[in-house]
A and B are shown apart, each in its own frame.
Chain A
Amino acid sequence: MDMPKPDTAVLARREQIVAKLLGILPPAAVIHDPTETRAYECDALTAYRCPPLAAVLPATTEEVVAVLRLCHAEGVKVIPRGAGTSLAGGALPTEDSIILGVARMRSVLEVDYPNRFIRVQTGMTNLSVTGAVESDGFFYAPDPSSQLACAIAGNIAMNSGGAHCLKYGVTTNNLLGVTMVLMDGSVVELGGAHMDAGGLDLLGLVCGSEGQLGVVTEATLRILPKPEGARPVLIGFDSNEVAGECVSDIIKAGVLPVAIEFMDRPCIRATEAFAKAGYPDCEALLIIEVEGSEAEIDEQMSLISSIARRHNPVELRESRSADESARIWLGRKSAFGAMGQINDYMCLDGTIPVSSLPHVLRRIGEMSREYGLEVANVFHAGDGNMHPLILFDANKPGDLELCEAFGADILKLCVEVGGCLTGEHGVGVEKRDLMHVQYAPADLEAQLRVKDVFDPDWLLNPAKVFPLDATESRRVA
């Protein structure tokens, strides 16, 4: 993968820049020893690594302002970083950049139940936000798989989703306001405890902007009352087509489950060998979860089951207890770990129209044979967000490149059928050069103009999101 040449003038001033950072932050908040900056050389996309010039860990919005003001004056690029769990390389450093991590900013600033929001510093993990309110019967809805580790800052940067977004939406639908610092150090307050924008919806623009527009230091998040209960049903089918039809029929019948998860045979076999959840050995498996009181769950379950039975499932298992629910979810939640046991894998994140599911799975199977690499599919079937996991051997020369080419072909297929390159992981560096597949030059240009407004010198999170050839004139300007 290409990255721009580092700014040699900045590299030459490394010592002075570090000294200036030490002048505005406590010593422990400036990491500049080369053995220590290596901890920031990559995020969860570990195939690409590059230690930054330095890493800083401010504790307050004021300290973020000071850092950005300094970097702006010095012409130093800045890579915002949440918890470093990006699968797309969203926090990958360059040699000439400063990592600005929010890991020390983990305070709850305000909890307001009557108005149903929580205001936090963005270094808090996703799960700890729910942790702060759950004893009072509330939760924060977006639930990315990495929720134990990932930070709200990264959730906002990538507009994270999760398994339950069919009902509750993704981050942008649950974000009420932010405090954001622009690259020049000015502070912008967008939104708050009220709903919707009074002028242009800049909050909507900032959410999912992958650290291109500013550094979000504080966030006001909508919290929701916990449902009375939730239970899943597991349904196995002999064909992907039929499983897809079943999903479509359930939605058409007016049921809105909180989650509809789909696993294909390779994924079922791998997770079964790993987690022994007792899944049937079948072509396609659905896990559908519904919420409400016991009686409401029973009603929805019986409707879902009656629809599923019309499609001749090989297995249909309604959960009757917390224990059975845990067993049904066990395999799905172990899927990534199970694949990791078998081999190295790359996790993709394209979205497709739900109706294209059988076609796309068939094509992925054909490509898998052409490339000689195995693929397992896990899939948020209600919203069309696919996570094909391509297995490869990182120690085998050429295998990573082969895997990347295969992945790119799958994502192109997603776009071809009317979908998109990324449903919840973001573009980062990983899919940067595929943006031409989804967007015409004018579509990209409109996005670059937004970046021009917020970060006119193009110092924030360089060489991400947009193809390098589309941004070259701006980056060298």
Chain B
Amino acid sequence: MRPSNETELSEAIRDAGGPLVVRGGGTRPVGRPVSGEVLSVAGITGISLFEPGALTLVAAAGTPLAEVEAVLSEGGQRLPFEPMDHRGLLGSEGVPTLGGMVAANASGPRRVQAGACRDSLIGVRFVDGTGTVVKNGGRVMKNVTGLDLVKLMAGSWGTLGVLSEVAFKLLPRPETETTLVLEGLDDARAVAAMAAALGSPFEVTGAAHLPDGRTILRQEGFAASVAYRAGALAGHLAGFGTCARLDAGESADLWAGVRDVATFHAAAGDVWRLSVKPSDAPDIVTKAGGRALYDWGGGLIWLLMPEGCDLRALLGPINGHATLIRANTATRAGIASFHPAPATVTALAEGLRRRFDPRGILNPGLME
């Protein structure tokens, strides 16, 4: 099914006779595999509002992300959270959509400074499991009117409702960027260096430690300001070594690779994504034993593990959560992709699903 507007989407869900596989561009096959009829939102497209003076965008959920980014770029703005393109890592094809990005709460390296997708999302329209159209939030960035279902929809992977429209707070595109590079730090020293950088007033918008041993720190803004802050930060980090400096083009290419986890594209194995307390990260990586890419100053770990390995069983309890992002269908059917929550939290999540999707037809089981 491929509805071309919200009314058709509502009818399609209302009239559905069984489970639906909800899909935007189909580029993010994550979670427990779901079988059912495919419901594609890719036919519901179009930017209905872009107001640069108000830092606001409203668009249909099926609008290709690339189209939105091009329009925003033209207006000197961007989505703040640097959404990841999963195609390279997952070997998927298709065109990433705004709705899919929101359903995955896809947030890249800048999350550490500008927030996640859910932090920039200011309004949604969606169709719940009964076919009812619901709106929440709106097009203004300060809005506390009623319960915040906007945040709830971000990262719900189509299990509570199918998004038809999304609204964002934007940020200006910076004039330039640069990246400082430290070489040869072990993981613990690298996390300490990133903490020192992120705890400084010099506005770091990306802090990653790569499997090749480089520790990279990005700064963005007006040229003179970036030049000043890069110098100040290099001085601040003198105890960790001498920083090399990348120009804007090199910096942009490097961070696109971090964002999309390029280092694991061609590597065999399962890929896990862990959100943890940054200072815990080196020990977790040691215990796991896989190759690691640290982003968010250590708060986000991308781990390459042997196929079929149950990382959570290996690690035991952690402060945070581990999500299985890439694995074959059999592994994803056997190991929960999403981190099991305590019983009280699970009961709340199940209660919400039952009320938003009483027939259990929207991506059933995907997040379990």
Residues of A within 8 A of B (CB): 112-116, 137-138, 158-159, 161, 165, 169-170, 172-173, 182, 186-190, 192-205, 207-209, 212, 225-228, 247-249, 251-256, 292-293, 295-296, 299-300, 351-355, 380, 383-385, 418-427, 431, 435, 438-440, 442-447, 449-454, 465-466
Contact = CB atoms under 8 A, between A and B. Distances in A.
Contacts of A421: 145
Contacts of B300: 195
List 6 A-B pairs, minimum CB-CB distance, nearest first.
A204-B151, A198-B321, A248-B53, A194-B320, A453-B351, A423-B142
Contact of A354 (B54, B75, B150, B320): B54
Given A438-B145, A444-B146, A201 B172 contact: no
Given A113-B199, A256-B171, A353-B56, 11 more contacts: A182-B344, A195-B300, A201-B118, A225-B200, A226-B201, A251-B52, A254-B172, A380-B142, A420-B143, A427-B146, A442-B132
Contacts of B143: 351, 419-420, 422-423
A114 to B, nearest CB: 4
Interface in B88-113: 105, 107, 111-112
Interface of B: 51-56, 75-76, 105, 107, 111-112, 115-116, 118-119, 128, 132-136, 138-152, 154-156, 160, 171-175, 192, 195, 198-201, 222, 224-225, 228-229, 232, 275-279, 296, 299-300, 319-323, 338-339, 341-342, 344-345, 348-349, 351-352, 355-356, 367
Interface centre among B143, B201, B344 (most CB of A within 10 A): B143
Contact of B115 (A138, A173, A199): A173
Contact of B116 (A196, A199, A293, A444): A196
A212 B148 CA distance: 12
Interface centre among A249, A354, A435 (most CB of B within 10 A): A354
A200 B352 contact: yes
A394 B227 CA distance: 57
A465 B146 contact: yes
Main secondary structure of the interface of A (DSSP, over half): loop
B278 A447 contact: no
Nearest to B191: A114
Contact of B355 (A112, A443, A449): A449
Nearest to A297: B225
A189 B342 contact: yes
Nearest to B56: A353
B303 to A, nearest CB: 15
A204 B321 CA distance: 17
Contacts of A423: 140, 142-144
30 contacts: A116-B199, A137-B201, A187-B344, A196-B116, A198-B338, A199-B338, A200-B155, A200-B156, A204-B150, A205-B148, A205-B151, A208-B148, A228-B201, A247-B53, A251-B172, A254-B174, A295-B224, A296-B228, A351-B141, A351-B143, A353-B140, A355-B51, A355-B53, A421-B145, A426-B144, A427-B144, A427-B146, A443-B135, A445-B132, A449-B355
Nearest to A356: B54
A427 B145 contact: yes
A169 B225 CA distance: 22
A447 B112 CA distance: 30
Contact of A201 (B156, B228, B321): B156
Contact of B142 (A165, A186, A199, A295): A165
B148 A169 contact: no
A201 B151 contact: yes
Contact of B155 (A114, A165, A197): A197
A199 B299 contact: no
Contact of B140 (A200, A226, A420): A420
B118 A453 contact: no
A205 B53 contact: no
A292 to B, nearest CB: 6
Contact of B105 (A173, A196, A447): A196
Contacts of B55: 251
